[in-house]
Amino acid sequence: MSIKNIVDQALQDGYLTPSMEAEVGRICDVAAELSVEEYMALDKLMGSLLTGEVVAVPRKQFINVMEELVLSEAITRVAEIEQTSESSLDVGDITAYALNRLPPLYATTEEGANYQRQRARQELKELIDKQVDEAIARYLDRPEFYPERQAIRKKDDTNVAGQLSSLLKDYAPNYEQKGSSV
């Protein structure tokens, strides 16, 4: 979709969605130079945003509590297995497999997240454990069909600590406080 099409759509709808905004940003990032038409469209969009003719829809901050619960369980189980065997397991693969078979538990506030955590511990603990167990069994039993497969983001870590560190950076990039060093 071109910048002009996005701007026309925003003017027609009266709002600019986060995906529309991201697409405009992507086009601007990859273009060596924008055309006069594209600059004019961007100028029109800026004017419409300033006058309120077009409203930018804010990005909603939310989390899927199920991700943290499954990740925590997967890390615990993988660490136990790796301590007692020669197997090296991928926490990300195991977590993704289990999450694809569990209901999401989204929350937009800390209170909502705490409620979802409590609810999951009471009502879904057995189901989470079962799906993580199944994910590990599938992972250990998987054939090497496509050894050339590449992870979404290449990771050189084969140990649990390295994988955990990478996953935490992905899921909670601002968790560590600035200025604190160990």
Per residue in 52-87, pLDDT (tens digit) is 999 988 877 888 999 999 999 999 999 898 888 887
Which residue has better confidence, 169 or 122?
A: 122
Q: Determine the pLDDT at residue 96.
A: 95
pLDDT at 182: 45
Residue spans of the domains in the chain: they are 3-56, 63-171
Rounded to whole angstroms, how far apart are CA atoms 128 and 132? 6
- The two tokens of residue 175 are 């968790």
Which of 108-117, 151-160, 163-172 has the highest average model confidence (pLDDT)? 108-117
Average pLDDT over the chain reads: 84
The residue with greater pLDDT, 127 or 156, is: 127
Count Cβ atoms below 10 Å from residue 38 Cβ, excluding itself: 18
**pLDDT tens digits, one per residue of 104-151:** 999 998 899 999 999 999 999 999 999 999 999 999 887 666 666 666
Provide the whole-model pTM. Answer: 0.54
The better pLDDT of the pair 14, 58 is held by 14
Structure token digits, residue 43: 């100028």
Closest CA to 169 of 182, 153, 158: 153
